[in-house]
Structure 1
Amino acid sequence: MKVAVFNIGKILSGDLAAPVATGDTIVLDDGKIVSVGTGDAGDSDIAIDASGMMVMPGLIDSHVHITFGDYTPRQKTVGFLESYIHGGVTTCISASEVHVPGRPRDPAGVKALAIAARKSFDTYRPGGMRVHAGSVILEPGLTDADFAEMQAQGVWLAKAGFGNFATPYDYAPYVALARKHGMVSMMHTGGSSIPGSTGIWADHVIKGGVDVSYHVNGGPIAMPDADFPRLVNESKVAMQVCTAGNLRTTLLVAKLLAEAGENERLLIATDTPTGSGIMPLGMLYTMSHLVSLGGVAPEIAVAMATGNNARVYRLNSGIIAPGRDADLVLVDACLGGSQSDALSALRNGDIMGVGAVVTNGVPRFVGRSRNTPETTRKARVAHCKIPQSFTADH
């Protein structure tokens, strides 16, 4: 199915090195971006008139506590992932299935849990969302053979922080095994968040050798301020800030990384659903906080929520460029606000309004999001050659 999005006001690429792309038209085909430039809808099967709205890559929430299906037992809520689509989130990455009731803690159990979660989302896309599930919870006793088996079954995420270890330093050899088998490793950072977890500080993260310091701003309790410069200066770990954390330390992390010239290490996520609840607009809120309070340029904040996550997690989405996955979001200033466009809204501390979402090259809705205020400009389906309506009402 060929889809064209035209009459775009500005293309926010998600690429930190070149955050604004030239052009007013994006063409998608067979789930990939075909071209980014100027023109019209041409011979597309579906043409979406952006009406001057901006387009950005679909947001990538790299810290979501998925269980099985579109359900969270922590908040007893059905349909939260599909609801996140209406907040512009097109990809969710598991922060481990730690909230599965009665989750296993033995090596065979955590291995089985990760494999089952991974496979259960292979073809299941709630609301059209891409879900990367199956993050193995590192526990004592896991062997090289266990990691090899998980790798063979498609597991590529590993989580340190909830295992039955005497000290967080003991995660290091298991993180090394995960890396040997091609896995991206993450470590809980900050105070204890649930029974069975422990406080983890900068020295643990540095010596653990992980790829990502999870909710470095606190999940929800942050580590001491003196630890943040250590992570920035003594490691190259990606530093993930989450909506369900400490806002002051979010701004501190952004300041330290900007001063070090390493904005590529800052990842935006939510750390939900947890005790903080369901946050369909969490990514948008954190972006607005970083821009309006932290001095981050709005197009850079977009990259921190898209392309930065894609790079660290080795995804083909997150950047608007030919050959990339066709996950797009049309955004604008919210109707009734004081600002005239999406980037100005972020500078003002507002969230952006979502006017359309496309995932895997398929429009999921065109029109008003049910979770953000209405957009100032109105996206519309200019023509459609297939027997399906993509308006928000349907």
Structure 2
Amino acid sequence: MRTVIVNLGRIVTGRLDRPFAEGDAIVMEDGLIRAVGTASSADLASADVVIDAGGTIAIPGLIDSHVHITFGDYTPRQRVVGYLESYLHGGTTTAITASEVHVPGRPKDPAGVKALALAAQACFRDYRPGGMRVHAGSIILEPGLTEADLAELAQAGIWLAKAGFGAFATPHDYAPLMRAARDLGMITTMHTGGSSIPGSSGIWAEHVLASHPNVSFHVNGGPVAMPEAGFARLVEESDIALQICTAGNLRTALLTARLLEEAGQCERLLIATDTPTGSGIMPLGMFYTISHLASLGGMPPERAIAAATGNNAEVYRLNSGRLEEGRDADVVLIDACAGGSKTDALSALVNGDVPAVGAVVTAGIPRFVGRSRNTPAAMKPVRVAHCTLPFDFSGAAH
């Protein structure tokens, strides 16, 4: 399938070093981006779908790197069906599991946690709720697991390992398994902050440094932040990616961003939501945190967008997250909301507003065009200008 977007007002790439691309068009074919900037007459003539962006801004699809996946598009924590598809209407095109810890009655023995990770991964192997990419299946590290168990899982395709909810006597006891998982090529993640569910313990900077995960999960608290001194320690004493989440502490989220900027290491900042949790379901959570960084933290909005797209993609080794040739064709069109005080999406974010989502494309396929069911209408019209397929790409009404 070939999809072309034309008449773009601006293209935000998701890169920190080159945040904008020249031009006003994006060409997508067979699930990948084929060209950024221009579309030839041949591209337009052969396109299955042409989207007129109406002067709105293209960004990479948002990557939420902390979603509490269970099975299917269902969250038992909030007893809601269809939340992932709703997140897609908030611009999130990829969800990465924070481990399947919210599965009711989750097993805690080695055989059980291995089976849980494998089953969760298999559940989403060919299932895309609303068109969203879901990376599920993270092994929850528990006492009794061995390096051989991790090697078996890695051989079966499990590439995520989570520390934080196991029945270890102290968080320091995670370190040997975390090192083994990293040596096997897994992305390792670690709960950071106060206890979030009954039976778990607080994990502070000294514990994170000892295990040295790839990612410090919700470093600003999930929902309770760690002691203040720990933030500088994680920035200064490690290269760990620091994930800030909408469901955490806003003050320490801004602190984390500022410390990384002062250290010249903005590529380590990741944005996620840490939902669904007791904080609820947040289809616009990624945009809320982007707006907080831009309006309260003084971060240029294109850099905040990179923290929610390209930075996550690099840490998690994904082919999405950037608008450039050869990347996965996940594109979101955003604009200032109709009735707002600003006239474009980036200015709206600096103002503290969430943007309107005018269209979402994943794997080169338009999932909706014209109106998200979770945002006000865009100030500028986004429409399908040409379509050879028997599909209606309009989004459902509120």
TM-score range with shorter-chain normalisation? over 0.9
Q: 1:138 aligns with which of 141, 144, 148?
A: 141
Residues 120-199 of structure 1 mapped to structure 2, 5 A cutoff: 120-199=123-202
- Matched with 1:117 is 120
- Matched with 1:28 is 28
Root mean square deviation of aligned Cα: 0.9
- Matched with 2:336 is 333
Q: Which sections of structure 2, spanning at least 5 residues, go unmatched? A: none
- 1:53 correspondence with 2:56: yes
TM-score (norm 1): 0.99
In the alignment, residue 29 of structure 2 is paired with which amino acid?
D
Partners of 1:164 and 1:336 in 2: CA distance: 51
Relative to structure 2, which stretch is displaced further, 60-69 or 380-389?
380-389
Could you tell me how far 1:229 is from its partner in structure 2? 0.4
TM-score (norm 2): 0.98
Could you tell me how far 1:42 is from its partner in structure 2? 3.8
Partners of 2:126 and 2:15 in 1: CA distance: 28
In the alignment, residue 223 of structure 1 is paired with which amino acid?
M
In the alignment, residue 3 of structure 2 is paired with which amino acid?
V
Partners of 1:6 and 1:330 in 2: CA distance: 11
Relative to structure 2, which stretch is displaced further, 325-334 or 147-156?
147-156
Residues 88-99 of structure 1 mapped to structure 2, 5 A cutoff: 88-99=91-102
- Give the total of aligned pairs: 394
Partners of 2:394 and 2:67 in 1: CA distance: 28
- 1:86 correspondence with 2:125: no
- 1:240 correspondence with 2:243: yes
- Matched with 2:16 is 16
- 1:323 correspondence with 2:326: yes
In the alignment, residue 382 of structure 1 is paired with which amino acid?
A
Partners of 2:328 and 2:237 in 1: CA distance: 34
State, as a whole percentage, how many aligned pairs show the same letter: 68
Partners of 2:379 and 2:207 in 1: CA distance: 47
In the alignment, residue 322 of structure 1 is paired with which amino acid?
E
In the alignment, residue 113 of structure 1 is paired with which amino acid?
L
| SS across alignment from 2:46 | coil
- Matched with 1:43 is 46
Partners of 1:145 and 1:208 in 2: CA distance: 19
Could you tell me how far 1:38 is from its partner in structure 2? 2.0
| SS across alignment from 1:163 | coil
Could you tell me how far 1:234 is from its partner in structure 2? 0.4
- 1:291 correspondence with 2:294: yes
- Matched with 1:203 is 206
- 1:356 correspondence with 2:359: yes
